[in-house]
Amino acid sequence: MTVRTLLLFPLMATSAFAPCRQWHHIDTAMNSKNSERAHIERNLEEMMGNDWRLFRANLVAKEQAEASHQRKNDTPSSEPKDYGDEKLAHQGQLGELFAGAISSIFQKKNSSRVASGRRHSSDIFDGDAIGGLSDDDKIVTDDPFVSEAELPLLMKSKVKINKHRWAHEIPHVEPGCVLLANEKLGGVFHQTVVLIVQHDEKTGSIGIVINRPLEGDLQKVASQANCNLDLSLKMAFSKSPVSYGGPVLQEELSVIHGFGEVEGSTKLCPGVYVGGSEELMNEVRINRFDPHHALFVKGHAAWVPGQLSREIKKGVWYTAAVSSDLILRYAGAVVTEEDNAADLWSDILMCLGGKYAEISRAYAGRGDKRMP
């Protein structure tokens, strides 16, 4: 994999994904962000379920469930089908999901569309089973000002996903997504999970490997290798875990965490942040942040403009959105009995399901702890 370090370094120096040896700057009361407030905001975001990626994951899961149900219903029949009726039925299924639950509630139905076993005429105005609205899809809102367009968003979904453990394929690259190495990819990126930190078609892309934990803590790794790390940071985060991040600038260390968007950090996606080591160090000193929940990464991966897109088209990488707990697996995130704690690459593929689960079962085994 080719990299252009000289072009990358200016980008690194001005971004939030900068090494832990940061540029000194003058803090003012107007522009400094209170770390405690950042942590509270992050907790409130989680408590309120304000995660747009989780909402998208629910939509994807619902679409997959509906597609699976449709495939089961599309079994061959010995009786000839009328194409016109089949087309109308398909259109009706699409309309029932949203428009039927909204516009049909207070409309009078033609008696010819009432199923056999006719109920009492007054029952129809209760709103039950109108427009395809089932008991599982009840609209639960007391807001009299909600619009028709907003009602479908309030419908209960039959599909439930685990907010701590979810993953789905996405057709594009975005900050906070992960790249899963193709099972045939060798070298230092064999079975790696790469977190995308920056992506721009004009300036290129930056990512960090998050599933290659190194032996020992930060104090041990920093003392054995040539690392540009301030002594104060080394002392504060002496027990923090360290991961191989990629082949570029391995003497530099950056930090991934879930504490909050403190000063000097960048929010990659809800619950995942990169940078801000100076502020985190202050939080460690007052016992408000556990250093075991900060993952330091040595080096990173980089792609020149257009390179990553070409690699994805050739099948080198699988692109996915995953839960913050999967991303922060080695930064103190909760690990449950469902998780494959020793193999993040295989674990995410299993979460994706389908053909990816088959790949996971066929190629899993080596685990995360190995020399890159």
pLDDT tens-digit series, residues 110-142 = 444 444 444 444 454 454 544 444 555 455 556
- pLDDT at residue number 312: 96
CATH annotation of 5-51+164-363 = 3.40.1740.10
Whole-angstrom distance, CA of residue 130 vs CA of residue 124: 8
With 70 as the cut, is the pLDDT of residue 151 above it?
no
Helix axes 344-352, 354-363, angle to 10 degrees: 150
Whole-angstrom distance, CA of residue 189 vs CA of residue 208: 11
- pLDDT at residue number 205: 96
Closest CA to 268 of 214, 322, 211: 322
Query: For 154, what's the count of Cα atoms within 13 Å in the CB-facing half-sphere?
Result: 14
- pLDDT at residue number 145: 67
- pLDDT at residue number 148: 59
Section 281-295 average pLDDT: 94
Whole-angstrom distance, CA of residue 206 vs CA of residue 195: 9
Residue type at 252 in one-letter notation: E
Q: Helices H, strands E: what count in the chain? A: 12, 11
Task: Give residue 160's pLDDT band: very low, low, confident or very high (50, 70, 90).
Answer: confident
Task: Give residue 69's pLDDT band: very low, low, confident or very high (50, 70, 90).
Answer: low
- pLDDT at residue number 124: 46
Mean pLDDT of all residues belonging to the chain: 76
- pLDDT at residue number 184: 95
DSSP string, 157-202: PS----TTS-EEE-SS--TT-EEEE-TT--GGGTT-EEEEEEEETT
Task: Give residue 144's pLDDT band: very low, low, confident or very high (50, 70, 90).
Answer: low
Cβ atoms of residues 323 and 316 within 8 Å: no
pTM above 0.75, yes or no: no
The 10s digit of each residue's pLDDT in 45-66 is 666 666 767 777 778 777 777 7
Whole-angstrom distance, CA of residue 19 vs CA of residue 39: 22
With 90 as the cut, is the pLDDT of residue 147 above it?
no
Q: Which position has the higher pLDDT, 10 or 39?
A: 39
- pLDDT at residue number 54: 75
Section 192-221 average pLDDT: 94
The CATH 3.40.1740.10 portion of the chain extends over 5-51+164-363
